[in-house]
Structure 1
C-alpha cells in the first residue's frame, strides 16, 4: 500500500452508514484522541492543612482519592476551583525506579549504572544519567517509517527534546542491542546527546498508575531522597499549576477528586486538527490524553460523527498488525467493528 492510499471504515449511526474515511497508515491527517472511561474527574479543594498521608485518607473516605492530573486541561480544572493557596497536595508520590524508553519499548538492553532521571550519551560514547530539567544537550530522534536516526544539534532539556522528536519524527531514540548502541555513538559523533531512556518513578495514589503527564516546575524534582510527595503551586502566574516534590509530613491544603464516569459509553473524544502520521498521532494522544480513539458502540460512533467535520479525515486507534489482526491502539478487544469484510484501497 502506498503512502497515498487508505482503507475506509464505515461508521454506522442509527442504521445509516457514514463513510468516514478514517485512515490507518501513513497519511498526514488530523486525529481523534480519547480520554478513557473512568478518567472524568470532579475535583474538590480542601483548605484544611494536612500531611500528604492524612490528606490521602481524607480523600479516600470522602471522595475517590487525592487528585490525579493527567493533562493541562485537568490542571486548569483544578486551578479554577481554588483561589489564594500557596501550595496544595496532589496524588503523585515517589515509588521506586522505573526505567523505560520514551516510545514505550521494553528496556531489554542496559549499558550503565544510574541514579538520576534521564539519559545522555556523553562525548566518550558512554551512557550517563542526567537531570531531565536543567541540563541541555543535543539529541537523537528516530523515524520508524524510514528506520533512520536524526541528530538534532539544538541544546534542549530532555523533555523538550522528547517533545521535539514526537512533533517532527517518531520519538527520542531507543537502543535495544549493542549494534544499535554503536550506530547511535557514531551518529552522535563525539557530542553529548539525549537518548530516550528515562526514569519515571512517580505514581498516582489512585490505582498506583505511573504518571505519563509531567508538570514539574523548573529544577524539580530536586530532593527525591527526602521528598517523596508532590504539591502543586498556586502562587504566581508563572509558577501556578507547576509541581514540586516536598516532605510528606508538611501540613498543606489539598485536592481530592471523584470519578464521575465509569461506563464505556462515557469516553470523551478530542479532535486534534494538526496533521500527523498515525504513529505520531498515537504518541500525541498518549502523551496528552489516554490514546487514539476507540469505538465500542454506536453511541460512541455517533459521538465521533458529531465532532468530526464530514469533509475531514481523521485517525482513530484501529490498526492491522503483522498477523492481519485488527486491534485498538489501547489494547482493547475489538468488539464493535463496522469495517467492510473486504477492504479496498483508494487514492486521496
Structure 2
C-alpha cells in the first residue's frame, strides 16, 4: 500500500548542473530503518540538511509538523553519506539517553531543532529525491472532455500528463493534492486496443517508460471507456472520453522554468511593468491553479500587490489564460477608472481591479533556463574564514553578475538575517575582484557588476573586503572582522523547476 502524502512535493535547485532536489513528507509512522528503506526505494534517501539555507527551506515547508526522522544517525553521519559540519541540536542534545539514541529527529515547529531518538521509535519522515531535469505538471481546475483537455494542454503547455514510473506518479499526486478531490484526466488513452500516451514524441521516452500503469481494478471498459483519469489517491480508472473532468498538463518546453521576485517598492502599474521588463521578464502572470498555488505559498503574508493583468483582462506578456480568481463583486471598474489588477494572497489570492495609478508593491517573473543558487550561512566569520567554508561546502563566496542576480540573492537571505553578510568581492592590489577565479564562469562584463552604497570609502584604511546589508547594498570593511554572516554560491547553474 502506498502511504498517503500529506504535503506537496517541493522541488528546489541543488546547485549542480541539470539537477534539482524534491522533498516529500511521508505521514506514515515508521522506525528509522523502515523510513530509510522506504525513501531509498521510492526516492533517493532520507533527507539531509547540509547548511542553514536547506534548514530554512525545510522549516518554511514543514513548520506545522512536529517531530519526524531525518537522515542523521549513529556517529553523526548522514544516511546518503554526504558531508556537512552543520548542526542544529536542541539544548542538551544529543544526550544518547539510556545509551540507545542513535538516530535523529527534527521538529520545525520548534525552530528546526534536532534531538537524538531511539531508532525504533515510530515517527513520520521526510525523503528527498535528487532528480535530473524533473518534470513539471500543471493542474487545471476546469472540467473538460479528454479531447478538450488535450487541446488545452497542447496549446498552453506540451501535452496531457505522461507518467513513466512510481516516483513520477507520486510527484503528480503531490502536485494536485490540495487542489482537487475528484477526478483528473491524464494523457493515457486506448488507441486501437492498446493503451498509448497522448504525447507521441519518441525522443521523450526511454526504454520501458511508455509501459508504466497504475490502474485500480481497471481497465474494465464498461461501455466505450477509452480514456484515463486519476483519482485523489493517484489510482487510474478508464472512462468515456466525453465525460467532464479536471485535468493535469505536462510542461516540457525548453526554458519553461520560472522564478518569482517580490519587489517591495510602491509603484503604479506602468512603473512596475517597466521595472519588471528592465530587470526580469515581466509582471507576474497566473496561468493556472498550480501557479496560483505556488504564488500563494510564497507570498501568503503579503497584502495587495500588482500582477500583470490589465485593461481588457489581458496579461502584460500577452500570454493566454482562462483562469480568474476575482474577489466577490470584482471586477467592478469603480468610477470607470480601474483597469489594472492586484492580488492579495493573505485573502486567498483573490483579485481586485484597481486604478492603475495606485502605488503598490509588485511581483516580477523571469523565464529562465538556468540560474545560480545561493546559500545563506548564519555563522559569524572573518571574510577569509567564510571563503574557506564556502569553498569546502559549496563552490565559493557569492558572486553577483547583474541586478537580477542581486535581487535573487536578496530574496535568498531576506527573512534569514537582518545584519551584514560577506560576499565574494575583495580588493586585490587596488582592483576589486571576485573570490571565484574560474574564467569559464564569467561571460563578458559579468565581473564588473557593483551595487555600492556611497562606497567604497576605505574608512578604516584597510577596507579590502565587501559585505551586503539587508537591502542588498554593498559596503567595504576590514577582512578580519568576524561579526558578519555570509553567503555562499553553489555550482555554476541549476535547473529551476
Same fold (TM over 0.5): no
TM superposition score normalised by structure 1: 0.32
**Which protein is bigger by CA-based radius of gyration?**
2
